[in-house]
Amino acid sequence: RLQEKERLLQELNGQYDELGKEVGAGDTDEVTFDTTFSRRHLQLMRCADFFHLRCPLSDLIVKAIQKNDFLSRLDDEQTAMMVDLLAVSSYKPNDDVIKEGTEGDSMYIVAAGELLVTQAGQTLRSLTTGDVFGELAILYNCRRTATVKAKTAVRLWCMERQTYRTIITNKSKKKREQLLGFLKTLVHELCSRGHILYPLSKIIDSMEEVKYQDKDVIVREGAEANAFYIILKGEVLVTKNVNGHQKQIRRMGKGEHFGEQALIREVLRTATCSAEGPVTCLSIDKDRHTIPPLHLFLWDPVTLGVGGFGRVELVMNHEEYYAMKRVSKKHIVAKRQEEHMLFEKKILKATQCNFIVSLHAAFKDTRYIYMVMEFCVGGEIWTKLKEVGRFDEPIAMFCTACVVEAYAYLHKKNIMYRDLKPENLMLDIKGYVKLVDFGFSKEMVHGDKTYSFVGTPEYMAPEIIKNQGHDFAVDFWSLGVLIYELLVGSPPFSSSEPQKIYAKILDGVLKYPPYMNKYDASNLL
């Protein structure tokens, strides 16, 4: 809009110049305009007046954005959009703009007046024209850490979280669509040459080859569906029980598939598939062993952990110990975590990996949701790290290798983890490291991007903070942060204030302690 106003102003100045030439060329003292020109002239004058009024305010907003550690990283186009989309609000003396402890979704820039910032009744500082406050709220839902009260009559520019995200994500999506358009012809060319595309190779990597002899039953009608099949070689006969007799439905050959519903939900087979001669298939299996919840015994005195999510308690089944995570339904609804809980259960139920904690059962009552998981007797890596200060390189390498194995398994299944930190790494009875807590995980096709703002501040990748859209690469950013913390004892980007953590991450300045110079870890990071 500002560029359009500048263009109109230039057009107006040009027409004034032409008008001056016409007046100088003639002898008449009177100049007349046709109706069309007069209306256009009036429109240009109004736009020019608005531009001149707006320009000083725009400069003030831009300067305020540029001097803020977080907002200064916006590009010119995003900054211009912010200038245009800021809303104006006014407050009287002693009015509270934001209150300590309340949740908010807006940031503010002071246009005029003075405000006081207080925390627990103590005055911290004052805010005047050009100052920015509350910017953390446009990133995610959080409680205000201080109260901001108008000392005089004030006028503020306000930006809501949804508006900010729209500005950031629209730019990223537009750029992504443009790049995808450029790549369409390249992808077509690669396909025509017979190149195997990356997503297809990943699907193949996650499947197992299974061979059958003539007349072998691959799946039986009425049985529980637990696998999906693609025929590589041979023929498969599909039959269905009709009045006690097997009726042939169809024949399937190379390249055809069956049983896909098994990967979506719990169903029974609707037909029998058997081999006609030797058959080779690719298969994805989802068989799981579960423990009947009625046979669990709760050890009331033993609590393994307590957090914002709920409580983890020790339970027993036939002399085997398990960790039972108990989460309040009320808490889940209040935090809008319904989808996250369901997805966490789905991931753990479908997971069979030695480096990811196993889920054995899940059930609920009127107040809680329960998830019975493998009991990792070694406890958290975070606890061990705090006990010794920092790990030696061999221990850090072993922990990292376990995480990489877990990542490889998850990424093959199109799952981003997004919550790596020492608190989410557990030691099992054999001393292996296992991932726990999949509340921030997301299922996504390789090549796509998501725009969620999730994770632990110290471990967030720059693209998450900037709302530019992120993919599986963020897991490896957090892996680098983990390696650093294991070797040093603290994360590379830390502060008591989240805004400063984000600013440090975006700056990307990494400082190594002297003893790390001899390690190859610094090169890896």
DSSP string of 168-225? HHHHHHHHHHHHHHHHHHHHHHHHHTTPPPHHHHHHHHT-EEEEE-TT-EEE-TTSBP
Specify whether the CB–CB gap between 472 and 411 falls below 8 A: yes
CB-facing half-sphere around the CA of 468: CA atoms within 13 A: 15
Q: How far apart are CA 453 and CA 214, in angstroms?
A: 53
Contacts 24+ apart (CB under 8 A), 501-507: 501/457, 501/458, 502/70, 502/139, 502/457, 502/460, 502/465, 503/69, 503/70, 505/460, 505/461, 505/462, 505/465, 506/70, 506/73, 506/462, 506/465, 506/466
Coil/strand/helix, residue 287: coil
SS3 326: strand
Alpha helices (H) in 28-93, listed in sequence order: 35-66, 76-85
Residue pair 426/434 in contact (Cβ under 8 Å)? The answer is yes
- What phi and psi, each to the nearest 5 degrees, are found at residue 521? -60, -35
Q: Is 67 annotated as a binding residue?
A: no
C-alpha R_g of the chain: 31
Which 8-state DSSP code applies to residue 86? P
DSSP 140: S
Round to whole Å and give the CA distance between 315 and 302. Answer: 9
Instruction: Give the residue numbers annotated as catalytic, written as ranges.
Output: 419
Token code pair at residue 317: 């089944």
Q: Per 3-state DSSP, what percentage of the chain is helix, strand, and coil (rounded to 5)?
A: 40, 30, 30
138 and 107 Cβ atoms separated by less than 8 Å: yes
Asked if residues 378 and 454 have their Cβ atoms less than 8 Å apart, the reply is: no
Of 112, 113, 115, 153, nearest in space to 133 by CA = 115
Name residue 16's amino acid.
Answer: Y
Residues annotated in a binding site for ATP: 335
Residues annotated in a binding site: 335
